[in-house]
Amino acid sequence: MENKDVDFKGFRMNGFLALFLFLFVWFGIVAWLVSTDTLALNVLAVVMIVLGIVLNCGYMMLEPNEARVMVFFGQYKGTFRETGFYWVNPFLSAKKLSLRARNLDVEPIKVNDKIGNPVLIGLVLVWRLKDTYKAMFEIDAQTMANTTVTLGNGKTQTSASTVASRMNAFENFVKIQSDAALRQVAGLYAYDDNESEADGLTLRSGGEEINEQLEQKLNERLSMAGIEVMEARINYLAYAPEIAAVMLRRQQASAIISAREKIVEGAVSMVRMALDKLAADDVVELDEEKKAAMVSNLLVVLCADESAQPVVNTGTLNH
């Protein structure tokens, strides 16, 4: 695809040099008006004054990471990126843009994950303008940048777009597209690996892989507007309020089951060790029935949530 974003090749002059030349011309015009009485020359001097006022509109100043899109009566002439103070053709429309990186904190939105559970997911991203031609002419940013101001009498007035309102229009475009990309990525994965149908990557465990896919989807969507996403990360992830309590109980039950499995595994190991130790040291000889009773008692003691109450056997093992 042809790259239409080109550098401005038109005439430009150092702003301070142009200012010195125009001041010299202004002084000459004033001296001319003072020294002449001819009507024709006076008319010519007035025309020169008007022309000087028009020429003074050609000054512009750019800071680092700023650009101006140069348009001559509707025709794109290139993008001016040189920093400093310059004078250009005053009939060129120089629309200022910022190429600096910007943060966008997308408020959490409700989406359905792969299993269908409603979850709240939020996003933070860093973006900047990369292609000024696409940004200005591929999307209707100039119309979106028109701001409506409410006057004191209650009436509204639409003001001309400035660099701030223009960048806010781009930010709004990024926000809408980021919502769509976030819904698309979130629908491909389950919330966590506790779902019976979920396997592999999840929203909770995906980490960098999920963020990379999100960044890729965003760049695909925003390339039409000449916007580049430098970084995208999920900064908020939770179940929706209507199922949060149920999912919390499920997570608690899962944690309890996992803990019980560890306790039983340890208890069985300790019982086996106790029986082997008793047999090896010839402390007492137990038949199968006594072993079963001992195993039951030890498991109760080791696996119980509360401390076991001791029972003193005053008889003999034969009773």
Within 10 angstroms of residue 69's Cβ, the number of other Cβ atoms is 22
Instruction: Confirm whether 4 is domain-assigned.
Output: no
318 inside domain: no
One domain, residues 220 and 270:
no
Predicted local confidence at residue 27, as pLDDT: 77
Candidates 104, 106, 121, 105; CA nearest to 183 is 121
Same domain for 125 and 196? yes
For residues 160 and 258, state if they share a domain: no
Asked whether residue 317 is assigned to any structural domain, the reply reads no
List b or e across 273-284, with b for residues whose CB sees 16 or more CB atoms inside 10 angstroms: eeeeeeeeeeee
Q: Which of 97, 115, 149 is where one domain is finished?
A: 97
Is 74 within the bounds of a domain? yes
Domain boundary among 239, 268, 287: 239
Is there a single domain that holds both residue 88 and residue 144? no
Residues 231 and 259 in one domain: no
Residue 211 and residue 290 share a domain = no
Report if residue 315 sits inside a domain: no
What pLDDT shows up at residue 189? 86
Are residues 232 and 129 part of one domain? yes
On whether both 161 and 90 belong to a single domain, the answer is no
Q: Residue 295: what pLDDT?
A: 72
Instruction: Flag whether 310 is in a domain.
Output: no
Same domain, 79 and 142: no
- Here the CATH number for the domain that contains residue 152 is 3.30.479.30
pLDDT of 127 reads: 95
**Nearby residues of 154 by Cβ (< 8 Å), 6 or more positions away:** none
Q: Digits of tens for pLDDT over the chain (319 positions)?
A: 567 889 999 999 998 998 888 888 777 777 766 776 677 666 777 777 788 788 888 899 999 999 999 999 989 999 999 999 999 999 998 999 999 999 999 889 888 888 888 888 999 999 999 999 999 998 887 676 665 444 344 444 444 457 888 888 899 999 999 999 999 898 888 887 655 444 578 887 777 888 999 999 999 999 999 999 999 999 888 887 776 566 666 666 666 667 777 777 777 777 778 777 777 766 666 667 776 777 776 766 666 666 656 665 555 555 4
Distance CA 55, CA 286 (A): 112
Helices (H) and strands (E) in the chain, counts: 9, 11
What is the structure's pLDDT at 67?
93
Boundary of a domain, candidates 97, 119, 150: 97
Q: What is the pLDDT of residue 150?
A: 41
For 160, which DSSP code?
P
Number of domain units in the chain? 3
In this structure, the answer to whether residues 231 and 133 fall within a common structural domain is yes
Q: Tell me: do 108 and 210 sit in the same domain.
A: yes
The reply to whether 311 falls in a domain is no
81 contacts 9 by C-beta, under 8 angstroms: no
- 0.85 exceeded by pTM: no
Q: Same domain for 61 and 115?
A: no
What domain range is 258 assigned to? 249-303
